[in-house]
Amino acid sequence: MTTMNIHTPCLVIDGAVAQRNIESLAAYTKSKGLGLRPHTKTHKSLKLARMQIDAGAVGLAVAKVGEAKVLAEACDDLLAAYPVISPQRCEELGRLACDRAVRVVADSLAGVRVLTDAAFKTGGTLGVLVEMDIGMKRTGVQTPEASLQLAREIDDAPGLRLDGIMFYPGHIRLQPDQQQAPLEVIDAVLMETIDLWSRSGLEAAIISGGSTPTAYQSHMITRMTEIRPGTYVYNDMNTVRGGYVSTDDCAARVLVTVVSDAVPGQVVIDAGSKMLSSDRCSGAPDAGFGHVVEYPQAWIARLSEEHGMVEISGCDTRPSVGDRITIIPNHICPCVNLQDAVWWLDRDGSLETLAVDARGRVT
């Protein structure tokens, strides 16, 4: 089995590149005394999770309880980095917590109450992190005072253990040579919050932050104890165009076939929005729906569900119908989520199926 005789469109993971990405960030976090808790939303795979743990990860992050149940096979320290509100799902977390560390976040009193009930019903002790919004405007309490109020509720609740603070700096897309002011602002908010908690006798043992764009600047946020990057394992055009990595660091590539060249100046590939997702590139919405490795001047101008329209007027040569070419997607996470399985190209050149184990686990 080689990439020459597998069906397209398909996602092929270069195992050596993924391993290098995993080891590189593990080495950085180790050198800075930071915990690394990879977010498994990107790969949703037990194999990759185990590679991350073998490289020294302190635990794993998941977005959904269904993912936690799958990843529990690989890890005994799981953080559901999401405000879980469903009583049934909180009880699932409570059951998982009976024989491993299970942590979850909350940003509302309603959320804390559901978690308290679940811990009571299941007998599991749930570690809870107060989610704070530090500029992303998504989830998270808005002020240090509000975090203290919620922390007190958690600390008082039977069955819950106050573990600390979670935030997500997904709005920050600093390049390595840019000034660090936004990270310093985060650091100041965290310091204020920790001090406030401390004066009330509450400890934030875990300060969990981090994202792929800011991963290698994490030491600038001095109070952070761990980071939760996801995309770094595979990378994509978002991380390339953001200036964080090069295309050589992109481990996940979509192999496609040219199916039509009937329209002048264009070829059509067999990957559309049902393969690549419709995600545009962050900060470069007109850059097209992915990067064509063999034809860097090409522009994936439009997607239908199963067609990708590739403008090739700027290319010196053009691919023919039947040719196979390679696309680096804009955003690898939704692309992986569209697959039941991907191909794993091992260091030794072998190609095998890699299940996307935690995809579609809705219960």
Which residues of this chain interact with a second copy, rule CB under 8 A? Answer: 7-8, 10, 41, 63-64, 82-86, 88-89, 107-108, 110-111, 114, 131, 133, 137-142, 146, 170, 257-264, 266, 268, 270, 273-274, 277-280, 302, 304-307, 309, 320-322, 333-334, 337-340, 360, 362-363
Burial bucket for residue 286 (CB in 10 Å: 0-12, 13-18, 19+): exposed
Q: What minimum distance in Å lies between the beta carbon of 33 and a second copy?
A: 29
Q: What minimum distance in Å lies between the beta carbon of 268 and a second copy?
A: 5
How far is 118 from 135, CA to CA, in rounded Å? 31
DSSP structure class, residue 17: H
* Nearest CB to a second copy, comparing residues 55 and 129: 129
Task: Please say whether the beta carbons of 257 and 294 come within 8 A.
Answer: no
Residues 6+ apart with CB under 8 A from 252: 11, 12, 13, 14, 18, 234, 235, 236, 328, 329, 332, 335, 336, 342
Q: What minimum distance in Å lies between the beta carbon of 321 and a second copy?
A: 4
* Nearest CB to a second copy, comparing residues 16 and 263: 263
* Nearest CB to a second copy, comparing residues 180 and 257: 257
* Nearest CB to a second copy, comparing residues 305 and 348: 305
* Nearest CB to a second copy, comparing residues 26 and 78: 78
Q: What minimum distance in Å lies between the beta carbon of 54 and a second copy?
A: 26
* Nearest CB to a second copy, comparing residues 72 and 146: 146
255-265: b (≥16 Cβ within 10 Å) or e: bbbbbebeeee
* Nearest CB to a second copy, comparing residues 179 and 262: 262
Question: Given phi > 0 = left and psi -120 to 50 = alpha, else beta, which region is 135?
Answer: left
Write out the two tokens for 27.
């080495």
* Nearest CB to a second copy, comparing residues 19 and 147: 147
Task: Please say whether the beta carbons of 130 and 151 come within 8 A.
Answer: yes
How far is 143 from 133, CA to CA, in rounded Å? 8
The three-state DSSP-derived secondary structure of 240-305 is: HHCCCCCHHHCCEEEEEEEEECCCCCEEEECCCHHHHCCCCECCECCCCCCEECCCCCCEEEEECC
Distance linking the first and last C-alpha atoms of the chain: 35
Q: What minimum distance in Å lies between the beta carbon of 164 and a second copy?
A: 17
Task: Please say whether the beta carbons of 173 and 242 come within 8 A.
Answer: yes
How far is 22 from 87, CA to CA, in rounded Å? 35
The CA-based diameter of the chain, rounded to the nearest angstrom, is 71
Q: What minimum distance in Å lies between the beta carbon of 363 and a second copy?
A: 6
Q: What minimum distance in Å lies between the beta carbon of 94 and a second copy?
A: 16
Q: What minimum distance in Å lies between the beta carbon of 177 and a second copy?
A: 27
